Structure 1
Amino acid sequence: MKLKNTLGIAVGSLVAASSMGVLAQGQGAVEVEGFVNEYFTDSSRNYAHDEGSEYGGSIGYFLTKDVELALAYGEYHSLNGDSALGNKDIKGSQTDLKALYHFGEPGAGLRPYVSGGFAHQSISNTVAGGRNSSTLATVGAGAKYYFTEMFYARAGVDALYNIDQGDTEWQAGVGVGLNFGGAAPVVAAAVVEPEPAPVVEEPAEIVRVELDVKFDFDKSQVKEESYTDIKNLADFMNQYPQTTTTVEGHTDSVGTDAYNQSLSEKRATAVRDVLVNQYGVGGERVDAVGYGESRPVADNSTADGRAVNRRVEAAVEAEAK
């Protein structure tokens, strides 16, 4: 009964240990188990009872996520034998080495299995009161239920063929155990091609050059001091050859409308000629137009205001590269 008490403590320890955390099952995992088997004996060794109990434990190692190699040891109890000396308490043990193949995927839930292997059985107080040692071939089937990745319960049946004596015995049992995780199962992840990043076009920077050329009263000649400003406009247009411009001429209010219209056109033409003839801007890219005194930007009643109105204006815009 001491072994039964020890097994009860072991089972309790397994349940308590399962609360420590979840470990991954799979290749490289180790399982330890405590078990109880009901042993159904043959009739050739004169047992008074044709069944008894085996208590023991096992340790297994997963060679793959499905294949486990397990070593078990158990001791027999509650067997009696009929010998020439009378009924005897039969003492014995059995050591198993078997391979188990598990079905299904590792993880919480049910995993059926089949098993096969060999065992060595040693029993005392048999027919002649001596010790009987036998080599057994074993096959079995059962199922494990994993309450968590770590803690499980098992039930199974094994057939034990006695190679030495040529008869077959059976045992059915239950057990509880712990799985100390190995490699987590690899789940193939779908390869998702990243969507190409949207092309964000940055807004084009608009650059602008303006020209404001002033003229003396009743004159259409371009003053020397204005050539630098005209050249800046020409350089810009040569840098951006897709650009065009219109040169606009203006006058103050002194004189008749017709005279001022003609004078404004001459002023516009004079600036155009400098752009085209001196600074190389294509003639097809520059228009000249006069507006006379119709578009003043200052007060024509003052001398300063009239000086501001005697002008030629132009502007060019382009998208910066």
Structure 2
Amino acid sequence: MKLKSLTIAIALAATSASTFAADKEEGFYIGAFGDYYDASWKNMRAQAGLDVNESTGWGVEAGYRFSDYWSARLEYADMDFNAFDKVAGNRNSIDGERYGIDALYHLNGGPFYGLFGIKEMDVVDDNTFLNAGVGYQHFITDGLFVNAETAVYQGLDRGYTDVGAKIGINYLFGQNSAPVEPVKPAPEVVEVAVAPTDSDNDNIADADDKCANTPMTDAVDGTGCTLYEDKEVTVSLLVTFPNNASAVSTQYLNDIEKVSAFLKEYPDTTVLLEGHTSSVGKATYNKWLSKKRADAVAEQLVSDGIAKDRITTVGLGEERLKNDANTKAANAENRRVEAHIKTIKNVKVLR
């Protein structure tokens, strides 16, 4: 009952103190402890009928904490056993000693630990035991700690099975285990998008723009240059004449100047002037008159600065009547010179 009470007390003390466990430490330590041992040794001296029961005592230990998880210790205990002499019929005390070595495994590097070891007990005669148990240690300061543990002892010589418990105080000559600093991830590099410079606002960055300062009205290609497209441009001329006349009326001078301007703007173009007459009169005469009318318009173009080799005239007479009705109005409409000029112009594409 005494051992059971002590074991329960140790467990309660360990549980209540668990929140006060100190950091794991490494180094040498020494300590002293109070010891309780519940023996069940019958007839140790058969001739005397000596039974050995529980023991109380004290002890010292020295150990080394190798890491957060492992430590080892040497132990010595001075024991005072309660013995019963069945021959004499009385109880008396018997001195004994226990010494040996233990290995301790600290669960998760924390305050609770398991232990196993081998002990030699010198009580009346020598006996060897294997022991295993559990314990708890609590650091009061960086070096000072208390511990409580209980263990089962199995005899190798006579097959005794005993239990024991102890409470001790120790001092560790070491230093705190350096905590492993978590590896901090490298800061994430956030790329800030910088809008490329576009000086002429044509949506093409200056670094890619091969045509700087394009007008804002122009559509551009992928290199920032103005886009062009082919477009057909035309100009037409119609000059009419009185009956049997070939002189150019002043009312048509502006129209002829427009043709001259077109020819100057597009120097690769030429003009064909077609002269016509009505069906009145002889065909041969009308042929001659129509050519004379075309030549009259050509002379006006030359006077405006157009080279003669760019002008061709032809007299078609009454071959291509514009209006074949036999009326004064139809005849007036047919007395004419016509020209139609067209070319391809490369023009800007606007946005």
**Structure 1 length-normalised TM:** 0.49
The structure with higher relative contact order (CA 8 Å, sep 6+) is 1
For normalisation by structure 2, the TM-score amounts to 0.46
